[in-house]
Amino acid sequence: MTIVGKTDSVDDIIDTIETKELAAEISTYLKTIPKHKRIAFVGRYYYFAELDEIAEVTGLTKKHLSVMLHRIRQDLIRHLRGRGFYL
């Protein structure tokens, strides 16, 4: 019977919408942080750059980047939770 297929399709649509909403909220958050932090975050988590590469571009130490990225992730989680996202 096709009812299961339709349920799967509805679930897929809902997942797609939720994913797009989450991506949009992450983009909104990234626009609020300073450029050097945004460059580090996007480099690390969108382009999978190594800390060495990001350090070279930003002029920051790997340790500084590590701490900064941790703080950005924590702040992003707070931001998303405040907008109704629970990860």
What are the start-end ranges of the H helices in the chain? 3-30, 35-45, 51-58, 62-82
pLDDT tens for the chain, 87 residues: list them.
445 555 678 889 988 999 999 999 999 999 999 999 999 999 999 999 999 999 999 999 999 999 999 999 999 999 999 999 987
Is-contact 43 53, C-beta < 8 A?
Answer: yes
Maximum CA extent, the chain: 60
Give the C-alpha separation, 85 to 18, whole Å. 9
In a domain, 46, yes or no: yes
Kindly report the pTM of this predicted structure: 0.83
- CATH number, domain at 35? 1.10.10.10
Count of domains forming the chain:
1
In a domain, 26, yes or no: yes
In a domain, 87, yes or no: no
In a domain, 75, yes or no: yes
Domain region containing 18: 3-82
Please give the structure tokens belonging to residue 75.
């702040």
